[in-house]
Amino acid sequence: MAETTMEFVTIADLAAQLRAGALSPVSLAEASLARIAALDKRLHSFIATTGDRALAEARAAETLLRGGHDLGPLHGIPYAVKDLYDVKGMATTAGTRLLANNIAARDCAVVRRLAAAGMVLLGKTHTVQFAFGGVGINHDHGTPHNPWSETPHAPGGSSSGSGVAVGAGLVPMALGSDTGGSIRLPAALCGTVGLKTTVGRISRAGVYPLSWTLDSVGPLTRSVEDAALVYQALHGVDLADETTVGVPTHDVLPSLKAGVRGLSIAFAETVFFDDVDAEIVAAVREAGRVFGGLGARVESVAIPEVAEAMSEQRRAQMVAAEALAVNGRFIDEHFDALDPVIAHRMKAGRQLSATDYFVVLRQWAALRERLQRTLADVDVLLVPATMIPPRPIAAIDASLETYTENNLRYLRNAALGNILALCSVVLPCGFTRDGLPIGLMIYAKPFDEAMALRVAWAYEQATPWHQRRPDLGWAR
C-alpha cells in the first residue's frame, strides 16, 4: 500500500476502506510500521514497536473480517500506547531507564479492551519521566520532536510521544494519560484532538500512576469522531479500578453530530485568559464567533471556583506527594540518576503534611460541588488550551528557571480542569504566524463527555484547521 493511502487518514475513513476491501488489516499494519521506520528516527515518538504482535493481531483481524465477523469500527485499526501502559512481555519504563526491567506480566485493562475491539497494537510511545511534566522534555530517553517544525519545539507532555505519533501521521490513534493536561497539551502543540475523560470513566488498572486522585485515561486522534469511537470502546466499569464502580456507561455517538444550536457556550474569563499569548487569545475568541454562527448562545462567565483553585498554592505539591507514594524509592536511592527537573519537582511533595493533604482534598471536593451550581445553565466552556504556543526546546531547557516558567505556562489552564474534575476535548483552532498549532480547549461538566465531543465535532466540521498537515520532508 502506498504511504499516502494511510497517512493522516482518520479511523472512520480507514474503517470504511477496510470494509470496502480497498485495504486489509495486514497491509495497513505493514504500511504503518514502514512509516514509523522511515520517519521516527527523527521524530523519536516510539520507545519500542511491536512488529510481531502487530502483524499477528492484523492477521487475526483480517481472518475475522473475511469470515464475516465484524467487531466494530475499530476492527483492524492500528494504534500505539504511552509507555505507562502495561503491555505483556514489554517493559513499562514510565520514561526512566531505572524501570528498564519492569516487564509487564499482562496487558493493562484498556489494551485488553482495544484488543477485544479488534485494534492492532504497533508499539509504545515516549513519555516525560514518571509522566511529571507539561513541556514534553525527557533528559533520559530523549525528547520527541514536534512535527510542525524542523527545529525541535516542545511537543507537550507528558504524553509527548503519543502526540507526535498522531500529529505526524504515524498512527491514527495513540493512548495518553492526563493528570494536569498530559493528553491535552500534546494535542494542542502537535495539532491533534485530545480527549481528557472524567476520573471514573475509563479504567486505569495496569497504567503506571502519577496521581491516583487526578489520573485519567484517553485518546489522541486525528478527528473528534475518532476520539468518540475509541471512548466508546474504552469506558465502563472495571473492578480493578474502584473509581469506575457505579459509573454508568453511555453512548456518545447518537448526539455527536447533533450540532450546537440552542446550546449555552461560554468563555471562561476567570484566570484562563490571563497573560495568554495574543495570537492564541484571538484564535479562541474567533471560535466563539464560529459557534455563534452555528446557532449557539455565546457569552462570557466569571467562575470564582477557578480562581480559588488557582490560589491554592499546595496544588502542585498534591501531585508530587501522590507521585512519591509510587516513586519515593527512586528519589531516596537513585536521585542522581533521575532527570534533575523531575526529581526536584517530585521531592517537593515531602513538604506537604498529611493534614494539609486531606485539607486540600476536601477543598477540591467543595469547589467541585459549587462549580456544578455555577455551571448549571452552561453547557461548555471555551478556554485557551495553553498560554503559549510551541517554543524551541533549546530556549525552554536553557536553565531550571526557563523550564519551570514554560512548564507552568503550558500546564495552567489544563491542570485547573483536573482539579475541578471537568472533562475536556482539545482540538486545533488556528496556527501562529510561524505555522505552529493553536489549541482550543472545550470544558464540559464531570461525566458529560458526550457534550464535550458534540461541541468539538461541530466546531471541527465548521473550520479547516484539522485539515492542515505538517511538512515532514526534514524527517525523511
In 38-68, which positions are buried (b, 16+ CB within 10 angstroms) versus exposed (e)?
A: ebbebbbbbbbbbeebbbebbebbbebbeee
Q: How far apart are CA 368 and CA 266, in angstroms?
A: 18
- Is the distance from CB of 124 to CB of 46 less than 8 angstroms? yes
Q: How far apart are CA 469 and CA 292, in angstroms?
A: 27
Neighbouring CB atoms inside 10 A of 361's CB total 12
Catalytic residue check, 158: yes
Catalytic residue among 82, 124, 196, 445: 82
Continuous H helices in 294-353:
304-311, 315-333, 340-347
Catalytic residue among 24, 158, 216, 424: 158
Catalytic residue among 45, 182, 223, 424: 182
* Pick from 198, 197, 174, 202: nearest CA to 187: 174
Cell numbers standing for residue 87: 503491555
Cell numbers standing for residue 449: 463527555
Burial class (CB in 10 A: 0-12, 13-18, 19+), 356: middle
Hunting for cell 499482562 — which residue is that? 106
Catalytic residue check, 160: no
Catalytic residue check, 82: yes
**Which three-class secondary structure state does DSSP give residue 428?**
strand
- Quote the strand ranges of 154-205, DSSP E: 173-178, 193-196
CA–chain centroid gap for 213, Å, is 17
- Taking the alpha carbons of 433, 434, 436, 441 in that order, is the dihedral positive or negative? negative
Active site residues: 82, 158, 182
